């Protein structure tokens, strides 16, 4: 009898589900927001049995006697016993509500899956430490056998920072910051001050806006008094100091309700202060561990602007960030820890693998759905391509067309990596404004990401390094940057995705073919969605964006839709 392991992210926001097979391999992972089409899916239940039913049916078809063990990425805690680490920033009742919601999510998920699978599901739901789930998720895809693993987020059960040592398959916690103190809460507060919404996860808007401003020395100095870093651990300053600083920014510097460009200097100041804090943590960590390799996890690991500076600003030589470092990725961590626990209880060796798998772990388009679109295309041209569409797509992009792509299993994580992407020609100086205005409907300042074959990175970027999941923002070389104005940010950087034949074979081929046509082996890549919505999930989602936006074409597996 084989046992499979279902991991759930149940922290109130960014719920997700992952499945690990009896060999300890992740075979499915997807964020709940995708199939609900509800950004961040606050309060939603992560299991969504109807959605994962095809996956479960596939498992049972191959192994009719399979059983399932569920696990979550949060240790149980009573709401009234929580030591609130950011009580100055977040109301106590919000913290208590989130703790209660976590319990509801766990109980609901258990009952729902037991209803569908009956006695195949173990009644007990295993719970694992939040930061440990972050760390296990991060090392699973890491290319290193030995590394320091740092977790930075808004908050775990206790504290918002942890250090682990990863050595030859063994992950050991070196310390956790008991706090109170949180870089995640710090950046979320500044996000709201800048006029954006931390509830909607708009911290990346602050990162992008920072390039248009300049740090204000007085603001940076005040922000650097909010937190204290001691041997890598994070602590808030004393209450009187905090109250004075917060009152100053809330009354004198807040840009809530104002035009977003007005907050550019605050965004630059926020990014500067965050970078200085995080650099201090990493420098302390390197001194303590001596590792040259760094694995970075937790929601703060999504700060690609800072990530791109690590190898230049710290002694670390190589850095890895998983495709889903935030709470959604913890579904993978919980499932892997459940597998490890089960194996250990059975007296078998259970070492969590590293350098495993690709991020394409989600749902795939159904042929029956593309057939329906093909048969009822109406005012659109629809045809199935005889091959994988790489050559035709490269031609369309070279002609200046904007094309949505939905191919194979969806990427797991917040960034489109070629399976749910909108692609375009980066040479056009007007394409950025066109996509922002006519396709995405988002703020005009926000940048687009370049994709480039790994072999060509040194020709185009300063401080070249692998970036398979768009985790690092690097400086463009000059004058090469002048050839691709649509993917060069205001500060001369780009949040690149590097392509290899192993990680992204199809997109690499498209980019290389585009390079043969144009002489530029770079494409513009952005997520296949409109502002305020998650990345498309179903074929109907993709077609809806195509019909209601300025997209010129959509490629769904081998079905090509174009406008007449």
CATH code assigned at 407: 3.90.870.20
Say if residue 416 is in the same domain as residue 546. Answer: yes
What distance in Å separates the CA atoms of residue 409 and residue 388, rounded to the nearest whole number? 15
Q: Where are the beta strands (DSSP E) in 318-464?
A: 318-320, 380-384, 403-406, 420-424, 449-453
Rounded distance, CA 447 to CA 474, Å? Answer: 13
Indicate if 479 and 513 belong to the same structural domain. Answer: yes
User: 305 and 331 share a domain?
Assistant: no
pLDDT at 88 over 60: no
Total-model pTM: 0.95
Same domain, 284 and 383: no
Domain assignment present for residue 350? The answer is no
**CATH number of the domain where residue 210 is located:** 3.30.420.40
The DSSP line for 34-75 is HHHT-GGGTT--S--HHHHHHHHHHHHHH-TT-EEEEEESS-
In a domain, 120, yes or no: yes
Residue 363 DSSP label: -
Placement of tokens 């696990």 in the chain: 71
pLDDT of residue 93: 60
For residue 357, being part of any structural domain is answered with no
458, part of any domain: yes
Task: List the CATH number of the domain containing 124.
Answer: 3.30.420
pLDDT interval class at 111 (50, 70, 90): confident
228 plus 310 within the same structural domain? yes
* Residue 353 falls inside a structural domain: no
Find the domain containing 128 and state its range: 3-141+327-345
Are 403 and 483 found together in one domain?
Answer: yes
List pLDDT tens digits, range 210-255.
999 999 999 999 999 999 999 999 999 998 999 999 999 999 999 9
The tens digit of pLDDT for each residue in 6-45 reads: 999 988 899 999 999 999 999 999 999 999 999 999 888 8
Condensed to tens digits (0 to 9), the pLDDT of residues 284-338 reads: 999 999 999 999 999 999 999 999 999 999 999 999 999 999 999 999 999 999 9
Residues 194 and 165 in one domain: yes
Which DSSP symbol is given to 534? Answer: P
Number of residues that this document lists for the chain: 564
H or E element, residue 131? helix 130-140
What DSSP assignment string belongs to 445-470?
Answer: T---EEEEEGGGHHHHBSS----TTS
Distance CA 161, CA 298 (A): 9
Q: Tell me if 210 is assigned to some domain.
A: yes
Helix (H) or strand (E) segment spanning residue 205: helix 203-210
* Number of CB atoms found within 10 A of residue 511's CB: 28
Residue listed under structure tokens 């606050």: 42
My answer on whether 376 and 287 are in the same domain is no
Q: Do 437 and 380 share a domain, yes or no?
A: yes
SS3 of 172, please? strand
Q: Give the gyration radius of the chain's Cα atoms.
A: 23
* Beta-sheet pairing, 493-499 with 449-453: parallel
Do 244 and 192 belong to one domain?
A: yes
Sign of the alpha-carbon dihedral angle for 509, 512, 517, 521:
positive
| 103 Cβ contact partners less than 8 Å away, ≥ 6 residues apart | 76
SS3 167: strand
Q: Are residues 451 and 477 in the same domain?
A: yes
Domain count, the chain: 3
Verify that 173 and 122 share a domain, yes or no: no
SS3 category, 238: coil
- Asked if residue 433 belongs to a domain, the reply is yes
Mean pLDDT, residues 520-536 taken together: 97
Q: Please choose, from the candidates 427, 414, 420, 430, the residue with its C-alpha nearest in 3D space to the C-alpha of residue 469.
A: 414
Instruction: Using a pLDDT cut of 70, give the percent of the chain over it.
Output: 96
CA 43 to CA 483: how far, in whole Å? 45
Is residue 517 included in any domain, yes or no? Answer: yes
């Amino acid at each position: 009898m084989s046992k499979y392991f279902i991991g759930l992210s149940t922290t109130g926001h960014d719920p997700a589900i992952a499945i690990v097979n009896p060999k300890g391999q992740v075979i499915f992972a997807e964020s709940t927001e995708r199939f609900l089409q509800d950004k961040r899916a606050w309060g939603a239940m992560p299991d969504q049995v109807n959605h994962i039913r095809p996956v479960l049916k596939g498992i049972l078809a191959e192994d009719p006697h399979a059983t399932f063990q569920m696990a979550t990425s949060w240790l149980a805690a009573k709401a009234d016993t929580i030591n609130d680490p950011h009580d100055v920033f977040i109301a106590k009742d919000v913290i208590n509500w989130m703790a209660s919601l976590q319990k509801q999510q766990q109980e609901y998920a258990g009952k729902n899956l037991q209803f569908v699978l009956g006695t195949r599901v173990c009644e007990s739901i295993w719970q694992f430490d939040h930061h440990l789930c972050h760390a296990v998720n991060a090392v699973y895809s890491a290319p290193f056998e030995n590394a320091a693993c740092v977790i930075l987020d808004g908050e775990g059960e206790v504290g918002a920072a942890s250090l682990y040592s990863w050595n030859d398959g063994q992950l050991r916690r070196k310390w956790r910051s008991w706090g109170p103190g949180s870089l995640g809460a710090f950046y979320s507060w500044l996000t709201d001050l800048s006029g954006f919404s931390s509830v909607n996860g708009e911290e990346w808007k602050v990162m992008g806006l920072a390039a248009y401003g300049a740090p204000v020395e007085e603001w940076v100095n005040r922000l650097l008094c909010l937190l204290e870093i001691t041997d890598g651990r994070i602590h808030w300053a004393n209450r009187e100091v905090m109250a004075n600083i917060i009152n100053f920014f809330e009354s004198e510097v807040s840009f809530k309700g104002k035009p977003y460009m007005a907050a550019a200097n605050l965004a630059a100041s926020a990014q500067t202060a965050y970078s200085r804090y995080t650099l201090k943590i990493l420098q302390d960590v390197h001194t303590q561990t001596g590792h040259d390799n760094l694995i970075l996890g937790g929601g703060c690991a999504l700060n690609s602007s800072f990530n791109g500076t690590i190898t230049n600003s710290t002694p670390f030589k190589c850095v890895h960030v998983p495709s889903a470092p935030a709470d959604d990725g913890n579904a993978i961590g919980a499932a892997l820890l459940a597998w490890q626990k089960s194996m250990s209880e059975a007296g078998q060796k259970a070492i969590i693998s590293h350098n495993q798998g690709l991020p394409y772990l989600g749902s795939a388009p159904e042929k029956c759905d593309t057939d329906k679109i093909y048969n009822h295309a109406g005012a659109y041209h629809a045809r199935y391509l005889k091959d994988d569409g790489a050559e035709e797509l490269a031609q369309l992009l070279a002609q200046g067309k904007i094309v949505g792509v939905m191919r194979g299993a969806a990427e797991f994580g917040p960034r489109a990596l070629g399976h749910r992407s909108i692609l375009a020609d980066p040479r056009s100086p007007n394409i950025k404004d066109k996509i922002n205005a006519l396709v995405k409907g988002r703020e005009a300042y926000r940048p687009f990401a370049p994709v480039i074959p790994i072999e060509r990175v040194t020709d185009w970027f300063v401080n070249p390094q692998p970036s398979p999941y768009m985790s690092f923002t690097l400086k463009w070389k000059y004058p090469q940057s002048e050839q691709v104005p649509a993917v060069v940010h205001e500060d001369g950087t780009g949040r690149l995705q590097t392509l290899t034949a192993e990680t992204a074979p199809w997109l690499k081929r498209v980019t290389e073919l585009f390079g043969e046509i144009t002489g530029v082996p770079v494409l513009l890549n952005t997520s296949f969605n409109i502002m305020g919505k998650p990345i498309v999930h179903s074929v109907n989602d993709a077609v809806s964006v195509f019909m209601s936006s300025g997209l010129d074409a959509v490629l769904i597996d081998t079905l090509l839709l174009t406008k007449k």
